[in-house]
Amino acid sequence: MERLLGAEYADFVASIDQSPLVGLRVNTLKIAPEDFNTMSPFALKQAGAYAPAGFLVADESRPGSHPYHAAGLYYLQEPSAMAVAQLVDPQPGEWVLDIAAAPGGKSTHLAALMQDTGLLVANDMDGKRASILAENMERWGARHALITNAHPEQLAAQFGPVFDRVLVDAPCSGEGMFRRLGSAKGAKGANVEWSQEQVLACARRQTAVLATAVQLVKPGGRLVYATCTFAPEENESSIARFLMTHPDFKLVEPPRFDGFDRGRPSWAADGLPQDGLEKCARLWPHRFPGEGHFIAVMQRAGTKKPDRSQRPVRFQPLKSSELKVWREFARATLRGDWPEERMLLKNGRLYLLPPDAIETGRLKLVRYGLLLGEIRPGYFKPAHALALALKPEEVVKAVNFPADAPEITAYLSGHPLPITDHRLPITDNWLPITADGFPLGWAKAGGGQLKNHYPRGLRMVKAEGRL
């Protein structure tokens, strides 16, 4: 970096020694950023015009432990990472693919920008990370997402060039994480120490992922490439190599917000074309309040409409006994429209698929649309995901407490709650528990108390300091 940055190097190194910034991005599917700012228990500072829902946490509080986090009101995200989905710029109704999506920083952001319309396919090839992605998307309340655990090549074989926008948030050497991790731990999700060989191995992997991702972009669609590393081998060189072999793609000039630096064409490896590389965006920790990112927005030539005709999901109608338990639950608990013609039952789990649901063939699915719950013999057990996706007008009755009430701590710790409201049904009714009106999960009234159905794996455990 010293050789590359020259006079700038001293500032760069000084920035690495500073404390990392804590960023928080408000879930606009649940609350407007200004409303959250007004009620926030943490001191917040607006991140900037580049991320209208983004804030920096300006005090020592731990927003990851607050009930609002459990309610999915925000995602903790490093501020420069907030620029990525913003530059993907997805439009409501579009089909968007996030090919390396776990744990979900960009996918939650994309879902919010799409206003949870169209179709967002969020994929990660690592199974464990794909489950964490699903958990984060669930807390977010996203309904129009398909979460898969597949290799990019399997996605390309199944879907073909149908997506309006494809994001490759590539596995990288993670140099922008050094400040946060306090060491050179290396690529996210690839617990490997940083080394020059590691940088080159990442560059080879990125070239391979891009070559596959391209097969999923529709004519006229956009491909966005991002890394959280500074290494030119994984940034300018990866893009130059891609453009050289894919002449139907051109770099697009993204909006330049405060602190957005340009790509450095001369940093591309010898022999690679440098044309247009200045259109990439570099976010440096010494020029921008964040840890650092590289982003390239590319557009595919062409106007031909993608062929999406062969891809609707084949729905199997539910049996009348299955419909009966769902309907009984829905009648007692939910308001609004829950279209049964879009429901899919798989291994006893009932999903509400988005209107644009596509056939997924043999892909490994982690979630499809909104998981409503499980159909058990004679009754329906609602899913945590359903509680987190509910809007106030979709609930017949909820049990609300202020976020700082002891009942909320007790609920998040897995304890039953006493029934203090005599208007509540006494037996067998599912009720969302809400904090300041925002659902946290389910409880079931019975035996004079509210039985706790907050998922065991999410419960606040004092010794570990979770939540």
Q: Which residues bind ligand SAM (CB under 6 A)?
A: 100-106, 124-126, 129, 152, 169, 171, 188-189, 205, 209
Question: Which residues are marked as active site?
Answer: 228
Q: Which is nearer to ligand SAM, 127 or 392 (CB)?
A: 127
Residue 416's nearest CA partner among 367, 378, 454, 452 is 452
**How near is the Cβ of 224 to ligand SAM at its closest, in Å?**
11
Rg (CA), the chain: 23
Q: Which is nearer to ligand SAM, 20 or 414 (CB)?
A: 20
**How near is the Cβ of 302 to ligand SAM at its closest, in Å?**
25
**How near is the Cβ of 126 to ligand SAM at its closest, in Å?**
4
Task: Provide the 10 A C-beta neighbour count for residue 47.
Answer: 24
**How near is the Cβ of 294 to ligand SAM at its closest, in Å?**
12
Q: Which is nearer to ligand SAM, 125 or 386 (CB)?
A: 125
Eight-class DSSP state of 267: G
CA–CA separation, 451 and 27 (whole Å)? 29
Q: Which is nearer to ligand SAM, 75 or 326 (CB)?
A: 75
Which amino acid, 365?
Answer: L
The total number of residues written for the chain in this structure: 467
Number of H helices, E strands in the chain: 14, 23
Distance of CA 77 to the CA centre of its chain: 10
Left if phi > 0, otherwise alpha if psi is -120 to 50, otherwise beta: which for 332? alpha
Q: What are phi and psi of 225, to 5 degrees?
A: -115, 130
**How near is the Cβ of 209 to ligand SAM at its closest, in Å?**
5
Q: Which is nearer to ligand SAM, 292 or 382 (CB)?
A: 292
Which residues, at least 6 apart from 38, have a Cβ–Cβ distance to it below 8 Å?
A: none
Task: Provide the 10 A C-beta neighbour count for residue 456.
Answer: 8
Q: Which is nearer to ligand SAM, 202 or 386 (CB)?
A: 202
Task: Provide the 10 A C-beta neighbour count for residue 37.
Answer: 15
**How near is the Cβ of 125 to ligand SAM at its closest, in Å?**
5
Residue 229 near residue 173, CB atoms below 8 Å:
yes
143 CB burial (10 A radius; 0-12, 13-18, 19+): buried
